[in-house]
Amino acid sequence: MNDIAPHLRIVLVETTHAGNIGAVARAMKNMGLRNLWLVNPRSFPSEEAVARASGALDVLDSAIVVSTLDEALADCALVMGTSARGRKVPWPVMNPREAAPQVLAMAGQGQVALVFGRESNGLSNEELQRCHYHIHIPTNPDYSSLNLAMAVQVISYELRMLTLAQQDAEQAPLLSPDSSGWDVPPATVEQLEGFLQHLEQVLVEVGFHRQDNPRQLMTRLRRLFQRTRLDQMEVNILRGILTAVRGRK
């Protein structure tokens, strides 16, 4: 799996509380992110940030401080702005889970910026219009604004979940009798048909399947067994059970 961290930056615009910068560094490191850009922070470096970073000092120490948003975005191929509320000019907006595939796809090819606003009034309309897309965490509409570091946490968690899911899919493709690596060959059409006929006979014999009132029973059972992608051993086991049921009478 590709490590997206080198291609992804968290950009904080004019953060007022240094403690939030520390908490963001911690949230980022927890989720495997490293690149923190600070646009015109009120106070940085600061002891408060170090205290709240709780060991994520490498992220704080390597933070890049710039004076304009332009500088933080110049080399980026994709810019995602974040907003707690709708703005005057509607913009393509998605939730963090929807945004994650786009972010990960682009992070394989170029730099991606996730931009977060001021604690007091978020990002300006002009700043938001610099972003290709907006991400909104679907909070309670009557109380929609998260703490800055918590917003970073939620979005970077979604990125991590998708990264891990992709990693799992690469390492352990879902096994089924249809895929290579299964221990027994898949049942053929002929074998499944043989089983279904056998099943029908036994169901008639035990009085469960009444041919004068079939109720689509065999259609439903066919759908069930076709859906499960039986292998040859499983068909043999099922037929063995049917034979044993017959032998009891």
Binding site for ligand SAH (CB under 6 A): 82-85, 116-117, 119, 121-123, 135-137, 139, 144-146, 148, 151
Q: Which is nearer to ligand SAH, 53 or 122 (CB)?
A: 122
Shortest Å, Cβ 44 to ligand SAH: 17
Minimum distance between the CB of residue 82 and ligand SAH, rounded to whole angstroms? 4
Q: Which two tokens stand for residue 123?
A: 């990002």
Nearer to ligand SAH, 17 or 209 (CB): 17
Cβ nearer to ligand SAH, comparing 65 with 146: 146
| Closer residue to ligand SAH, CB minimum distance, 138 or 181 | 138
Asked if residue 72 lies in contact with residue 40, where contact means CB atoms within 8 angstroms, the answer is no
Q: DSSP code of 91?
A: -
CB 36 within 8 A of CB 12: yes
CB of 210 to ligand SAH, least distance (A): 60
Q: Three-state DSSP class for 6? A: helix
Task: Please state the closest distance from residue 122 (CB atom) to ligand SAH, in A.
Answer: 2
Task: Annotate 118-185 with DSSP letters as a single string.
Answer: BTTTBS-HHHHHTSSEEE-----TTS-PPPHHHHHHHHHHHHHHHHHHHHHHHHSPPP-TTSTT-SSP
Q: Residue 166 Cβ, how far from ligand SAH at the closest point, in Å?
A: 24
> Which C-beta is closer to ligand SAH: that of 84 or that of 217?
84
Contact between 156 and 188 under an 8 Å Cβ cutoff? The reply is no
Give yes or no for a contact between 21 and 12, defined as CB atoms under 8 angstroms apart.
yes
Residue 239, helix vs strand vs coil: helix
